[in-house]
Amino acid sequence: MAEFREVLQKTAKAFVENNTLAVQKKDTSLFSAILTEDCIRMYRPLSFIQRYPQFFKAQITNADYEAQMKIELQTMRDVSQKITRTVIDTAERRATLWSEQTVFTADGSKSVVEVIWDLNFSDDGTRVSQIMEFVDTYESTKVLEQILARAGTE
């Protein structure tokens, strides 16, 4: 079990690193690099999803997420992530990661957004098969309102 735990930890670490690199390199394919082809991403809380239907659906595919992030990346200059908590359940093939993300926008502003990812893994643990993402609604609202304002001026 210790070896499998290490596999899950490595996959979870790659998931976080790919999310950071995707922003830095402006390459949306990196968001899906460690995911299974049929991976489903779900957002919570549902009230937030309902507030911003132009950005979120209750669940989306890798392709949907990459398309969504192409829009969001236009406003992001850089991101850094600090994982503050990791819980791994080898029997269930799951991990929960708490992340503090510092997002630097193109206009020079900075936001610290907290995100909790609940990840399910493939049978061998080398890929993420499902993502439940709980977003910091207060800070995320500010970022999304910036995106909407920018879209309205173009």
Condensed to tens digits (0 to 9), the pLDDT of residues 39-69 reads 999 999 988 888 888 777 878 999 999 988 8
Residue 153 pLDDT more than 70? no
Residue 152 pLDDT more than 60? yes
Please say whether the dihedral angle defined by the alpha carbons of residues 117, 137, 52 and 72, taken in this order, is positive or negative. Answer: negative
Residue 35 pLDDT more than 80? yes
Condensed to tens digits (0 to 9), the pLDDT of residues 84-123 reads 999 999 999 999 999 999 888 778 888 888 999 999 999 9
Residue 144 pLDDT more than 80? no
Structure tokens at 55: 């950005």
What DSSP designation does 26 have?
T
